[in-house]
Amino acid sequence: MSSDTILSIDFGTSNSLVGAFHNGQRHEALAIDARASDPTLMRTLLYFPHPDLCYYGSEAIEQYIEQDMEGRLFRSFKSHLPNQNYLGTILDNRILTLENLIGVFLLELKKRAEKILNTSVERAVIGRPARYSMDEVSDGFALHRMQKAAKFAGFKDVQFVPEPLAAAFDYRRQLTSEKIVLIGDFGGGTSDFTLIKLRPENFSKKDVLAIDGCPLAGDSLDSVFMSHRLNEYFGAKSRYRLPMGSNVLTMPVGVTQRLNHPAHIVHLKEKETYEFIREVKKCSLTKKDADAVEKLFILIEDQQIFPFFENIEKTKRTLSNVDEAQFIFDYPGLEITESFSVSQFVEWATENRQKIFAGLDACLKDAGITPEKVDLVCLTGGTAKVPFIQKEFEKRFGQERLQTQSHFHSVLSGLTESAGFWSQGQSIV
């Protein structure tokens, strides 16, 4: 084992990357997924065809399709971290806690990195959102779970570095003089902000003026298409009357909330919930109500959840470039064609947008900085390209101070630099 080697891990809701500080040198991004179009970028996916076998990243998707979508595919599982009511899942008779689920994924990242570097590793710098949750207790609970997951993966010493702070280190390379910089990092699960004084060389913890954020980003924007339109196809408004009852009921909020979110919908397959949905179908008031619930069974039983949400994400991306987009899903029994406009998307996402920018306002307030005093605004992550996100930043800071980078490596680059600081006995957190 090389005590000089420290892994840098950007464990994301949608994608994950690994770098290293190894034998005194930076290794920016390791090729951890040979099957991916970008081998340095691994989809944060786990696929269990049965409880004793797991596939990861691109291979998870390949095997999921090859094995007729049997078994369980997990995506966006990072987003469950602050939820104290979510303990994990059951695969047949095997209980898999969330900490173990994440630990299994981190362990695979560790193994692949060790193979590339030809050494075993026990130290890691792992990125964390500015906030897993707006609730302090839930935020602390999420970090505690990540610590347990890292231990499960075999790391004995771990530093957790806020992702927007890590991104700031990457942007520092572009500077020739000291500036006050706002970093906005928009991932699948969180929107994170850091205000920092950056200069070409040297770093002090006092340079970090404020860190804040919001546990909403790309996935929550995907979910608005489901919650405002598409969930009706799957029984969200189906009416039913229980035997011996007189009240007409609609699908409970607990079910529809799971239905709306890509991280939660997979759990509709769990026995108790599944049996309840069967009862709803049996007690439906009309054939139309029953047919909608039947579509939900097809979505779950034919394992169409993943491709359905992939199609939603594609529609969201299309609306970044055109005013109207067609959503077409043509799986037998689930044929859906809908048109979505930018104006609808903006309206539906209003609450999410307000919460995201409340995180930015909190960051500015905590730093005691007004928008006029910010020299440079650097945005990274796919959600940063959503037009109404861009326009809000332009309105606040002006287009001339705005930089948007779509590449996924800014956070990882900063985490690797943090690993270098750590190897020299300096901590940035």
pTM, full prediction: 0.75
263 close to 232: Cβ distance less than 8 angstroms:
no
Predicted confidence at residue 408, as pLDDT, reads: 65
Look at 75 and 155; give whichever has higher pLDDT.
155
Span 302-310, average pLDDT? 85
Span 224-253, average pLDDT? 91
Report which of 310, 319, 314 is spatially closest to residue 388, judged by C-alpha positions: 319
Q: What class, spelled out in words, does domain 6-164+410-423 have in CATH?
A: alpha beta
β-bridge partners, 414: none
pLDDT in tens, 73-100: 888 889 889 988 888 888 877 888 999 9
- In whole angstroms, give the CA distance from residue 379 to residue 381: 7
Buried b (16+ CB within 10 A) or exposed e, 250-283: bbeeebbebbbbbbbbbbbeeeebeeebeebbeb
pLDDT in tens, 251-302: 988 899 888 987 787 778 778 888 999 999 999 999 999 999 999 999 888 8
Predicted confidence at residue 2, as pLDDT, reads: 45
pLDDT in tens, 352-404: 999 999 999 999 999 999 999 999 998 887 788 888 898 999 999 998 998 76
